[in-house]
Amino acid sequence: MGRWQCFLFTLYGGREREVILIRRKRLGEILIETGLLLESQLQSALAGQKRAGLKLGQYLIQQGIVREDQLIDVLSRQLKIDKYSPEKYPADPEIIGMIPIEVCQKNKLIPLKRRMNLLTVAMVDPLDINALDTVEFIANMEVEPVVCSEREINQLIRLSFGMHSGFIEEMERVENVEISVEPDVSDREKMEDIQVSSLHDQAIEPPIVRLVNSIITQAVREGASDIHISPEAHMVQLRFRID
């Protein structure tokens, strides 16, 4: 592992140091330097974005001050990173699961390609150091950002996660869930039917949290060593392994 780390540092190190120095600049500074924004426009936009609760780039695009394609071009040139294109970065199902869907949706990003210890990730905001650090921590890999439009990211997330994305959304709306546990043929396992009802005393928690807490609590009561969850077309099968 050490050899690969040294090799990758030699191969990418110079470029990464250059990009990191540029990332320390704020988006507003970059836009002023490239002539897309005046100082007065920046100050007005900074105040407006706070009121709107948006990132600066989102606010500028929403207000029509800067076009999204202009912003993408500037970030690509200044950070010396690629712009996303489906031809160059076709979907790779094998790496989609490396980053949880919740992280992808929150940070507007998605993994595209893996090469040795380098993970290429499409991002709406490649200046978001916190998002980059989060992905590096989860994947335990170096991250190479590719700038992408928000529309493309949303589409990639829908297409890449597919049924899983829909399942998460449905689970978030769960209030009452009945889960049938079918017996396993193994002599080492015992299965029992359980029912998980809405927990009114935990109403302050989101439905998905209440559901997960209920499943874990029931598993502890049953003395289960494993929990297996299998989503199907019209139901979710839950199995406890009890040694």
For range 18-25, the mean pLDDT: 49
Annotated domain spans of the chain: 2-161, 168-241
For residues 173-203, one letter each, b for 16 or more C-beta atoms within 10 angstroms of the residue's C-beta and e for the rest, the string is eeeebebebeeeeeeebebeebebeebeeee
CATH top class, domain 2-161:
alpha beta
For range 78-101, the mean pLDDT: 90
14 vs 82, residue with greater confidence? 82
Q: What value does the mean pLDDT of the chain take? A: 75
For residues 111-132, one letter each, b for 16 or more C-beta atoms within 10 angstroms of the residue's C-beta and e for the rest, the string is bbbeeebebbbbbbbbbbeebb
d(CA 242, CA 193): 13
167 vs 112, residue with greater confidence? 112
By the 8 A CB rule, do 158 and 165 touch? Answer: yes
9 vs 156, residue with greater confidence? 156
Q: Evaluate if residue 126 carries a pLDDT over 70.
A: yes
**Which value, to the nearest 10 degrees, does the dihedral of the CA atoms of residues 60, 66, 72, 74 take?**
-110
129 vs 6, residue with greater confidence? 129
Q: How far is CA 4 from the centre of its chain?
A: 27
Tokens in use for 51?
């009121």
For range 99-126, the mean pLDDT: 93
Tell me which residue of 25, 33, 27 sits closest to 45, measured CA to CA. Answer: 27
Q: What letter represents residue 162's amino acid?
A: G
d(CA 70, CA 34): 11
pLDDT tens track for 29-58: 999 998 999 999 999 999 999 998 889 999
- Range of weakest confidence among 10-14, 66-70, 129-133: 10-14
Q: Evaluate if residue 155 carries a pLDDT over 60.
A: yes
The pLDDT value given to residue 162: 66
- The band of 204, judged by pLDDT with boundaries at 50, 70 and 90, is very low
Residues in Cβ contact with 33 at an 8 Å cutoff, skipping those fewer than 6 apart:
none
Give me the sheet containing 142-147, strands edge to edge.
109-115, 118-123, 142-147
- Global pTM exceeds 0.75: no
CA gyration radius, the chain: 23
Tokens in use for 147?
């700038």
The pLDDT value given to residue 205: 53
Q: Evaluate if residue 168 carries a pLDDT over 60.
A: no
Tokens in use for 79?
């950070």
Q: Evaluate if residue 69 carries a pLDDT over 90.
A: yes
- Three-state DSSP at 111 gives strand
